Amino acid sequence: MNKKAFITGISGQDGSYLAEYLLSRDYKVYGIVRRHSIAEHQDSRLENAYKNPNLECEYGDLLDTSSLERSMKSIKPDEIYNLAAQSHVRISYDMPQFTIQTNAVGVLNMLEAYRQNCPSAKFYQASSSEMFGDSVDKDEFQRETTAMTPVSPYGCSKVFAYNIIRNYRKAYNLFASNGILFNHESPRRGANFVSTKVIKAAVRIKLGLQDKLELGNMDAYRDWGHSKDYVRAMNMVLNHEKPDDFVISTMKTHSVRDMCEYVFAKLELNYEDYVVQNPKYLRAEELPYLKGDSTKARTTLGWEPEYTFETLMDDMIDHWMKHHE
Ligand code: NAP
Ligand code: F7E
C-alpha cells in the first residue's frame, strides 16, 4: 500500500517541492491550505503537483485545532511534515504575536492532534538555523550541539518548537524529529526574501524594467542551498531508524554582497551601480553569520546536496529571465 504523507505549509516553497518529491515516490499526499480571498493565489505553487491524482488538499490552519484533528483522524498518515509557519524573519518583528502563535503554539496544536489521533506516525518539524542566533562554535560552524541564542521573534518561536518536539519524543515515545535547515532558496522562493529580491531586480535591470535595488544589511552571511535538495533531506530524516535532530546545510557561507556581485556579474552588470541601502530593510537585531556543519546528516543519512551556491543562483536567474521574456 502507498505510504500516506500529511504536509502543512504545502502551498509554500518547501511544501510544494516536497509534495512533488513524495508523489514521485508513490506516496499518497495530503495537505492543508489556508483560505485566501484570491483563491487562485492559494495554490499557485502546486500547479505541477495537482497534475497527480494522488494529491488531496483541504482547508485547515495551525491555529484551528478542529481542522488539525479532523485531518489526522481521517487521513491516519504514516508521515507528518509540519512546514507551516510565518517564515519571514524581519516580518516577525512586525507581527510577533501571530509569529509565536503559528510557529510555537501551532506546533503544540499539531503535536497534540498527532499524539491523540495517530501516534504511530512519524513527525518532521521544520526547525531553522535562525535558532542559533549569534552563537557560533570556535571553528565558525553551527551544528546540532551549538548553543541556541535566537535574535528574532521568529528564532525564539522556532526554539520553542524544537524543544517541544524533543520533549514529546521522550515523554510520549513518539517518532518526532527536527530538521535544522539552513537557508534554502529556489525559483519558488517568496519575493520578499533576499535571494529572489536580488535576482528578480537584477534581471529587470538588465531588461531595462527597473533602475535600482534597495536592500538592508549587505554584510550578513548565510549558508544558502536549494530547496529541492533540502526536501529530500526531510524525507530521509523521517526514514532514519530512529527519531533524531539533523543540521542540513551546504557547509559554505556567502554574504548578501557576494550574492549581488555574483548575480549582477552573471548578467554583465556591476552591482555597485544599482544597489542602494534603505534602512527600512534593516532588522531590529541582525543575525550576522550562519554556516552549518551537516556532517551528521551526511554520514548518518547519506544526504548530499546536488546544488552549489552558484548553480542555485543560476537556476533562479534562468527562471526569472524566462519569466520576463
Ligand atoms: P513559506 O514559503 O513561507 O511557506 C510557509 C507555508 O506555511 C505557506 O504554505 C503558508 O501558507 C503556511 N502557513 C503560514 N501560516 C499558517 C497557519 N497559521 N496555518 C497553516 N499554514 C500556514 O516557507 P518555506 O520557505 O517553504 O519554509 C517551510 C518551513 O521551513 C517553515 O516552517 C520555515 O519556517 C522553515 N524553514 C525555512 C527555511 C528556508 O530557508 N526556506 C530554513 C529553515 C526553516 P500561505 O501560503 O497561506 O501563507
Ligand atoms: O534574509 C539580509 C537580511 O529574508 C537573508 C527564512 O527562510 O532563512 C530565512 O531567513 C539576509 C538577512 O532570510 C535584505 O538582513 C539584506 O541577513 O532572505 P532573508 P533569513 O532572514 O536568513 C532562515 C534559515 C529561516 O528559517 C527563515 O524562515 O539578507 N537582507 N537586505 C535582506 N533580507 C531581505 N529579506 N530583504 C532585504 O532587502
The whole-chain average pLDDT of the chain stands at 97
- How far, in Å, from the CA of 177 to the mean position of ligand 2? 25
On the question of pLDDT at 39 being above 90, the answer is: no
Kindly report, residue by residue over 205-232, the tens digit of the pLDDT: 999 999 999 999 999 999 999 999 999 9
Query: What is the whole-number distance in angstroms between the Cα of residue 231 and the centre of ligand 1?
Result: 13
The parent domain of residue 264 ranges over 194-220+253-290+308-324
Rounded-to-integer distance, Cα 210 and Cα 71, Å: 45
* Tens digit of each residue's pLDDT (9 = 90 or more) over 92-120: 999 999 999 999 999 999 999 999 999 99
List, in order, residues 6 or more apart from 268 with CB less than 8 Å away.
206
Nearest bound ligand to CA 248?
A: 1
Q: What is the pLDDT of residue 75?
A: 98
Which protein residue has the closest C-alpha to ligand 2 atom 26?
Answer: 128
| Closest C-alpha to ligand 1, atom 21 | 84
Of 11, 67, 128, 157, the active-site residue reads 128
Residue 43: what pLDDT?
A: 87
Mind listing the pLDDT tens digit for each residue in 163-208?
Answer: 999 999 999 999 999 999 999 999 999 999 999 999 999 999 999 9
Give the number of C-alpha atoms closer than 13 A to the C-alpha of residue 97, restricted to the C-beta side: 0
- CATH number, domain containing residue 268: 3.90.25.10
8 A C-beta contact, residue 81 and residue 6: yes
Q: Verify that 139 and 257 share a domain, yes or no.
A: no
Atom of ligand 1 nearest to the CA of 103: 32
Clarify whether residues 62 and 10 are in a common domain: yes
> What percent of the chain has a predicted confidence (pLDDT) above 70?
100
Distance 282 CA to ligand 2 centre (A): 10
Given a cut of 80, whether residue 1 has pLDDT beyond it is no
Same domain, 84 and 174: yes
Residue 256 has pLDDT above 80, yes or no: yes
Residues 232 and 267 in one domain: no
Tell me, yes or no, if 154 is annotated catalytic.
yes
Q: Within this chain, do residues 138 and 212 fall inside the same structural domain, yes or no?
A: no
- Could you tell me the three cell numbers for 86? 510565518
Read off the pLDDT band of 42 (50, 70, 90). confident
Residue 323: band (very low, low, confident or very high) from pLDDT cuts 50, 70, 90: very high
Do 154 and 202 fall into the same domain? no
Which of 158, 183, 198 has most ligand 2 atoms within 8 Å of CB, for mutation?
183
Please confirm, yes or no, whether 304 is among the known catalytic residues: no
Q: What pLDDT is attached to residue 325?
A: 81
pLDDT digits (tens, 9 = 90+) for 264-309: 999 999 999 999 999 999 999 999 999 999 999 999 999 999 999 9
Q: How many structural domains are present in the chain?
A: 2
Note the ligand closest to the C-alpha atom of 189. Answer: 1
What is the distance, to the nearest Å, from the Cα of residue 114 to the centroid of all Cα atoms in its chain? 21
Residues 17 and 57 in one domain: yes
Taking the model in full, what pTM does it have?
A: 0.98
Task: Flag whether pLDDT at 5 surpasses 90.
Answer: yes
Farthest-apart Cα atoms in the chain, separation: 59
Query: Residue 52 pLDDT more than 80?
Result: yes
Instruction: Specify whether 124 is located in the same domain as 205.
Output: no
306 noted as active-site residue: no
pLDDT of res. 261:
98
- Taking CA atoms only, the protein residue closest to ligand 1 atom 30 is 126
In terms of domains, do 89 and 213 share one?
Answer: no
Ligand 1 neighbours (beta carbon < 6 A): 8-9, 11-15, 34, 61-63, 83-87, 102, 106, 126, 128, 181, 183-184, 190
For residue 41, what pLDDT is reported? 82
Answer yes or no: do 52 and 178 share one domain.
Answer: yes
- Mean pLDDT along residues 20-26: 98
pLDDT of residue 177: 99
Q: Is 215 in the pocket of ligand 2 (CB under 6 A)?
A: yes
Residue 155 has pLDDT above 90, yes or no: yes
234 lines ligand 2 (CB under 6 A): no
211 and 242 fall within a common domain: no
Q: Which ligand is nearest to the CA of 255?
A: 2
